[in-house]
Amino acid sequence: MSRILGGSGLSLSSSLSFMGAAFCFSFKGIVNPTVSSDVWIFAGIVAPLLVLLLCRLPQSVNYSGLVFCVAAMGSMGVALCLSLPGQESMLRPIGLLLVNVAYIALLIAWTAVYARLNMAAMVIVVAGTYVAGSVIYFLICALPSILVPGITCCLPFFSAALFAASNRVTDPCGVAGIPEKDTGDRFSARGFLPPKLMVLICAYSLLYGTISNHGTAASNILSAGFVGAFLLLVLLIAGRRTSLHAIFRMLLPLMMIGLAVLPFFDSRIFLVNCAISTCYGVAEVVTILMLCDIAHRFRQSALALNAFARLGIGTAFAVGVVMDGALASAGAPVGGAQVAATLVAIIASMVWLVGNYDLKNTQPLIVGGLGAPSAPESDSVEAADADLIEEFIRTRCAELSSEYHLTPRESEILSLLGFGLTAGLIEKELMLSASTVKTHIRHIYSKMGIHSRDELRYLLRADSPSPR
């Protein structure tokens, strides 16, 4: 595992991220003895909007300082929740709101650090965060009750301090989560949110919302720790060549089978609640990893991508809570909302497994930054630009083939796609059947974690030479 982390060149940052996000993860569970649906819904919408607002600030802003302000807000919430006599205080709901807003905002902030790691290191750090956070939670809960408030108040500051240190290691300019080449539109990340992935995580959030009134902090934390441990085990066995998409495609059928059985049990049972929370946790972790990977490869803002995703998650969770309450008020059988939400989650999982690959797009890839100059001064200049671009495409396709472990045939087809050939032209060029070519393209898209030619075009444009 240390070999994988060291291969990223960011082992120090990985270590800081590992513990920093774990402190953030544990302090929220300590404050919430039970899941507070109303507060969580409000925080799940307010926190992402707050992050999106911060993304609008100039790049010169000290983001580490803002994170410390968020940590102070979380510590204030802890003080209001744990240091007041009596649970009925009017200030307790305010404290819970501050804690949950700070928790979500800090988690989104940490994605800016995750996005700078390679995929193997990112999986280790994110999965390890959940395991370490669970351990910290249960260790603090085992301490004398008089010590818990003081220690818990410090956890957000520990997280913020490690965020500042990690951000300084990986981003000397202190611009967290902002792409290297600012496009001028901080919200352009919306176009890079995978639609089917968002539908999937929202479906599982809907299901999670239907059991929120029956869950406990202990079951949620235990489930998160199990998810992290399982991902670490898979990565340890498979090594650096593991594809996140392959892991998720292996897990989804198991999750679907489990969800199909769970409606026959009462969601108030601890183990059933843990199982549903685990399914949600897997979907949440994979969503974070995929969005950070997209931010890393497509030079998008990790903060904006994850904030938009959190908005969807919070909205779906709210719908699940409302649906559960409405059916219960209408006298529906216990678990009716859970059954309906389970069906939605299973359908969303099946849709995601089918794939979402834009194979009919015939638009050439060699356009824009990869195309010839719009107004060449002479034929010799145009020919020189064409040679430069051709050499770049060949080199870039070779790099992508090596990075994503494509087979020789897939590498060949990727190069043809890079030069603008459509699926029909590739069939004639390689004398293959239409179904064979489309199957290879699907495999290429799956291994590279993309879904359309637009995304492939963007990958090919990385560090592209400018026409003279």
**Chain mean pLDDT for the chain:** 75
d(CA 351, CA 344): 11
Length of the chain: 468
Which region holds residue 31: left if phi is over 0, alpha if psi is between -120 and 50, else beta? alpha
Tokens of 91: 């200030």
- Report how far Cα 223 is from the mean position of its chain's Cα atoms: 18
Number of alpha helices (DSSP H) and beta strands (DSSP E) in the chain = 18, 0
Q: What is residue 217's predicted lDDT score, i.e. its pLDDT?
A: 67
18 vs 112 pLDDT, higher one: 112
Counting Cα atoms < 13 Å in the Cβ hemisphere of 425 gives 13
In contact, 209 and 341? CB cutoff 8 Å: yes
d(CA 287, CA 337): 24
d(CA 157, CA 317): 28
Q: What is residue 267's predicted lDDT score, i.e. its pLDDT?
A: 59
For residue range 382-418, list pLDDT tens digits in order: 454 556 667 777 788 888 888 788 888 888 888 888 7
In contact, 89 and 67? CB cutoff 8 Å: no
d(CA 379, CA 263): 70
Tokens of 94: 């305010």
Tokens of 21: 């996000």
- Report how far Cα 303 is from the mean position of its chain's Cα atoms: 10
Which is it for the CA torsion 91, 94, 95, 96, positive or negative? positive
Confidence of residue 313 (pLDDT cuts 50, 70, 90): very high
Q: Is 404 helix (H, G, I), strand (E, B) or coil?
A: coil
Which region holds residue 201: left if phi is over 0, alpha if psi is between -120 and 50, else beta? alpha
Amino acid letter at 119?
M
d(CA 20, CA 79): 21
- Whole-angstrom CA distances from 14 to 120, 164, 237, 297 are 11, 13, 20, 19
Judged by average pLDDT, the poorest of 5-14, 247-256, 319-328 is 5-14
Confidence of residue 26 (pLDDT cuts 50, 70, 90): confident
d(CA 441, CA 423): 8
Amino acid letter at 234?
V
Which of 181-185, 260-264, 421-425 has the highest mean predicted lDDT (pLDDT)? 421-425
For residue range 199-237, list pLDDT tens digits in order: 999 999 998 888 776 666 677 788 888 888 888 887 777
Tokens of 364: 């050439």
Overall average pLDDT of the 430-458 stretch: 78
Tokens of 306: 């994850």
DSSP 191: G
d(CA 422, CA 411): 15
Q: Is 19 helix (H, G, I), strand (E, B) or coil?
A: helix
